Amino acid sequence: MSLTTYNKKRDFKKTAEPSGDKNNQAEDEKLIFVIQRHKASHLHYDFRLEMDGVLKSWAVPKGPSLNPQDKRLAMMVEDHPYDYKDFAGVIPEGNYGAGIVEIWDSGTYTSLEQKENAKEDEKLLKAGLEAGNLKFVLHGKKLKGEFALVRLKDDESKSWLLIKHRDKFAVDEAYNSEEQTPKNSPINKWLSKNKPEKAPSKKKS
Ligand code: MN
C-alpha cells in the first residue's frame, strides 16, 4: 500500500490534513471505518476502510444508504493515511479538495465471516478487495450491518457500487444520508455563512 499519490496531491504546509508519512496499525485492534462528509467543488461522502495500515477510500457522490435497493456509485480514490480517520475541518482554497470535511459516521468493521483474529479478518477483506467483491459488516452509529462494495466489470475500473445487504438493519423506505445529517453540523453551519454569491450580484454603489 502506498501513500505516494496522497502525499503528491497535498502541501502539508498549507493544509491541516495529516501527512502520510507512516502506516499505522495497532496489533489486535479492531479495524476501523470512517465516513467523512466533504463539501469540495461538490458535496460528497468519503467512505474509508482500514486495511494494511492505511484507509482504502471511495468517494460516494450520493452518500451511503441503508436501503438494499440502492446501488450507490463509489469511485475508488487514493489510499489515505490511517490518521485521516480523525480529520475534520477546513481545507484552504487552492489546495486539493478545498472546502470543508466533517465526520459523518465512524466505528469498527469486520469481514462478513467475522473472524476472531483481526489479522485473519483483514486477509479475507484484502482478498475481497482484490477480487472486486468486498463484503463486510459495519458497526457504526448510523451505518450497521452487512454491506458490499462491488467493482464494476472492468478490472481497471475505479467505479464500484456500495450496496446494503438485507438484514435487520436494512430499511425499505427511501434513505437519504443528507436527512441523517444534523441541520447544525459543522458543514451546514459553514455553508450558511459562506453562501455562494448569487449572479448577477447587485453591487451597491
Ligand atoms: Mn473527498
For the chain, which residues make up each domain, given as ranges?
A: 3-11+28-169
Using the mean position of ligand 1's atoms as its centre, give its distance from the Cα of residue 17 in Å: 12
150 Cα: distance to centroid of ligand 1 (angstroms): 20
Distance in Å, CA 135 to ligand 1 centroid? 23
CA 158 to CA 151: how far, in whole Å? Answer: 7
pLDDT of residue 98: 96
Where does the pLDDT of residue 191 fall: very low under 50, low under 70, confident under 90, or very high at 90 and above? confident
| Rounded to 5°, angle at Cα 200 from 197 and 204 | 85
Rounded distance from Cα 120 to ligand 1 centre (Å)? 30
pLDDT band of 116, cuts 50, 70, 90: confident
Q: Which residues surround ligand 1, an ion (CB under 5 A)?
A: 38, 46
pLDDT in tens, 96-106: 999 999 999 99
Predicted confidence (pLDDT) per residue in 29-48, tens digit:
789 999 999 999 999 999 99
Residue 21 has pLDDT above 90, yes or no: no
3-state secondary structure (DSSP) of residue 205:
coil
Tell me what the mean pLDDT of segment 175-195 comes to. Answer: 91
CA 46 to centroid of ligand 1, rounded, Å? 5
Distance CA 35, CA 32 (A): 10
Helix (H/G/I), strand (E/B), else coil: 121? helix
| Separation CA 67–CA 166 (nearest Å) | 8
Mean pLDDT over each residue of the chain, to the nearest integer: 90
Question: Is the confidence at residue 62, as pLDDT, over 90?
Answer: yes
